[in-house]
A and B are shown apart, each in its own frame.
Chain A
Amino acid sequence: MTKTLSWIFSLLAVATMGLLLAIFIWQSVPVWKHEGWGYLLEKKWYFRQHEFGVLPMVYGTLVVSFIALVLAVPVGWGAAIFTSEYLPRRLRMAVKVLIELLAGVPGVIYGLLGILLLRDWVYDGFEKFEPLSGDTLLTAGILLAVMILPTVVTLSDDALRSIPSAQRLAARGLGLTRAESILFIVVPQARRGLGASVLLALGRAMGETTAVFLVVGRQDNNLPDNWFSLRAWLDSGQTITSKLVSSETNIAYGDAIHWGAIVGLGLILLVMTGAATLLGTAFTRKPHA
Chain B
Amino acid sequence: MKPFSFLTALAIAGSLVSTAAADTLKINGSTTVNLVVAEAAEILRAENKLDIQVDTQGGSAGGISMLADGLVQLGMISKHVSDDDKAKYPKVNFVENTIGVDSVAIIVSKDVWDNGVRALSKQQLKDIYEGKITNWNQVGGAKSQRIAFFNKEPGRGTWEVFVHWVYGSPKAAPQVSFPEVGGNEETRNKVAGTRGAMSQLSASWADGQKVFALAMVLDDGRKVESTNENIANKTYPLSRPLTVLSNGPATGTAKTMLDFLLSERGQTLLPKHGYMNLKAVGGQKY
Partner of B182, one of A46, A133, A247: A247
Q: Is the CB of B177 within 8 A of A133?
A: no
**Residue-by-residue, is A241-264 near B (CB-CB < 8 Å gives 1, otherwise 0)?**
000001111110111000000000
**Nearest Cβ on chain A to B109's Cβ, whole angstroms:** 10
- Chain B residues with CB under 8 A of A247: 58-59, 61-62, 153-156, 182
Size of the A side of the interface (Cβ < 8 Å), in residues, is: 32
Q: Is the CB of B61 within 8 A of A251?
A: yes
How far does the alpha carbon of A94 sit from the alpha carbon of B202 in the complex, in Å? 50
- Chain B residues with CB under 8 A of A2: 1
B105 within 8 A of A: no
How far does the alpha carbon of A217 sit from the alpha carbon of B150 in the complex, in Å? 9
How far does the alpha carbon of A263 sit from the alpha carbon of B181 in the complex, in Å? 22
- Chain A residues with CB under 8 A of B177: 219-222
Q: Which of A46, A49, A133 has its CB near the most chain B CB atoms (within 10 A)? A: A133
B180 within 8 A of A: yes
Q: Is the CB of A250 within 8 A of B146?
A: no
- Chain A residues with CB under 8 A of B61: 247, 250-251
**Nearest Cβ on chain B to A220's Cβ, whole angstroms:** 4
- B interface, how many residues as a size bin? 20 to 34
Can you name the residue of chain A whose Cβ is closest to the Cβ of B61? A250
How far does the alpha carbon of A49 sit from the alpha carbon of B175 in the complex, in Å? 8
B165 within 8 A of A: no
How far does the alpha carbon of A135 sit from the alpha carbon of B154 in the complex, in Å? 19
Can you name the residue of chain B whose Cβ is closest to the Cβ of A253? B65
Q: Is the CB of A251 within 8 A of B154?
A: yes
How far does the alpha carbon of A135 sit from the alpha carbon of B88 in the complex, in Å? 34
Q: Is the CB of B3 within 8 A of A135?
A: no
**Residue-by-residue, is B230-257 near A (CB-CB < 8 Å gives 1, otherwise 0)?**
0000000000000000000000000000
How far does the alpha carbon of A119 sit from the alpha carbon of B179 in the complex, in Å? 14
How far does the alpha carbon of A46 sit from the alpha carbon of B193 in the complex, in Å? 29
- Chain A residues with CB under 8 A of B286: none
Within 8 A of A (CB), among B166-185: 171, 173, 175, 177-182
Partner of A249, one of B58, B175, B178: B58
**Nearest Cβ on chain B to A50's Cβ, whole angstroms:** 11
A132 within 8 A of B: yes
- Chain A residues with CB under 8 A of B154: 47, 247-248, 251
- Chain B residues with CB under 8 A of A250: 58, 61-62, 64-65, 155
Q: Is the CB of A133 within 8 A of B179?
A: yes
Can you name the residue of chain B whose Cβ is closest to the Cβ of A255? B88
**Residue-by-residue, is A188-229 near B (CB-CB < 8 Å gives 1, otherwise 0)?**
000000000000000000000000000001111110000000
Partner of B194, one of A46, A123, A248, A255: A123
**Nearest Cβ on chain B to A109's Cβ, whole angstroms:** 17
Q: Is the CB of B175 within 8 A of A46?
A: yes
A60 within 8 A of B: no
Can you name the residue of chain B whose Cβ is closest to the Cβ of A1? B1
Known contacts A251-B61, A254-B88, A255-B88; A5/B1 CB under 8 A: yes
Q: Is the CB of B155 within 8 A of A218?
A: no
Partner of B190, one of A46, A133, A251: A133
A100 within 8 A of B: no
- Chain B residues with CB under 8 A of A154: none
23 contacts between A and B (CB under 8 A): A48-B171, A123-B194, A132-B148, A132-B196, A133-B179, A135-B190, A218-B179, A219-B177, A219-B178, A220-B177, A246-B180, A247-B58, A247-B61, A247-B153, A247-B155, A248-B154, A248-B155, A250-B61, A250-B62, A251-B61, A253-B65, A253-B88, A254-B89
Q: Which 3 A-B pairs have the closest CB atoms?
A: A46-B175, A217-B179, A236-B179
